[in-house]
């Protein structure tokens, strides 16, 4: 059974029945009574087997959705696990460079070099403590209702470009890192 087609046929038959009944001035003919019986049979079929068919379809969609979510969760766990392995291998590379007293090393195909990783982050708590109350007051004075929240957002780039006092809300960190070079295919 195609439930979608059944619903469309049911709607069309109902409309036809109402239209013909109106055209006949409300008089029930044998043809209209037969159409009304057909309409009731379709309603009964839709309410019984049709509901079960829709239920099976919805269950299959939900089952596939659950399976895809489980696959995504498993992939996320695998990525997290691999990130741990990556960090461990980089640690070992650092130990190898320490043991050989080198800042960089190059094999036949791969190379490693000590470097520094610089990261910038917005001190969101400090930004909120300094400006959120002011932003909320201004927004409320201009008609923003209480049920809508005000959120401050700034990027490290924006703060750096603004300079001056904006730099107070920027946190810079540096940590040792390993640069990894690997073979590349030649461009043709």
The C-alpha R_g of the chain, in whole angstroms, comes to 34
Distance, CA of 24 to CA of 1 (rounded, Å): 33
Of 20, 48, 83, which residue constitutes the final position of a domain?
83
* Residues facing 104 on adjacent strands: 113
Dist CA 43 CA 13 (whole Å)? 11
Same domain, 73 and 10: yes
The β-bridge partners of 113 are: 104, 179
Task: Inform me whether the pLDDT recorded for 124 exceeds 80.
Answer: yes
Q: Is residue 94 part of a domain?
A: no
Domain total of the chain: 2
Q: How many other CB atoms sit within 10 Å of the CB of residue 123?
A: 15
Range of the domain at 107: 103-181
pLDDT for the residue 18 = 87
pLDDT band at 120 (very low <50, low <70, confident <90, very high): very high
- On whether residue 89 sits in a domain, the answer given is no
Same domain, 74 and 136: no
Q: Is residue 120 located within the same domain as residue 172?
A: yes
- Is the pLDDT at 130 greater than 70? The verdict is yes
**Does residue 95 belong to any structural domain of this protein?**
no
- Digit-coded pLDDT (tens) for 151-173: 999 999 999 999 999 999 999 99
Residue 165 lies in a domain: yes
69 or 11: which carries more pLDDT confidence?
69
Inside any domain, residue 90 = no
Least confident of 33-42, 88-97, 155-164: 33-42
Residues 108 and 175 in one domain: yes
- pLDDT of 1 reads 67
pLDDT tens per residue, range 94-103? 999 999 999 9
Is a pLDDT exceeding 90 seen at residue 115?
yes
Q: What is the rounded average pLDDT for all residues in the chain?
A: 91
User: In this structure, how many other beta carbons lie within 10 angstroms of the beta carbon of residue 22?
Assistant: 9
Are 64 and 122 found together in one domain? Answer: no
What pTM value is reported for the model?
A: 0.56
Same domain, 107 and 72: no
For the stretch 48-66, pLDDT in tens is 888 888 888 899 999 999 9
């Amino acid at each position: 059974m195609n439930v979608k087609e059944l619903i469309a046929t049911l709607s069309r038959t109902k409309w036809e029945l109402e239209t013909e009944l109106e055209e006949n001035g409300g008089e029930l003919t044998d043809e209209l009574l037969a159409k009304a019986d057909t309409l009731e049979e379709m309603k009964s079929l839709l309410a019984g087997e049709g509901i079960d068919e829709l239920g099976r379809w919805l269950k299959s969609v939900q089952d596939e959705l659950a399976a895809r979510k489980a696959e995504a969760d498993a992939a996320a766990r695998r990525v997290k696990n691999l990130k741990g392995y990556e960090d461990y291998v980089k640690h070992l590379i650092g130990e190898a460079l320490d043991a050989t007293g080198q800042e960089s090393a190059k094999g036949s195909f791969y190379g490693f070099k000590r470097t520094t990783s610089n990261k910038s982050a917005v001190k969101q708590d400090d930004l909120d403590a300094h400006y959120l109350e002011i932003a909320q007051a201004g927004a409320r004075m201009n008609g923003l209702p209480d049920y809508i929240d005000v959120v401050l957002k700034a990027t490290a780039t924006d703060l750096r470009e603004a300079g001056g006092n904006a730099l107070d809300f920027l946190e810079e960190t540096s940590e040792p890192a390993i640069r990894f070079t690997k073979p590349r295919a030649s461009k043709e």
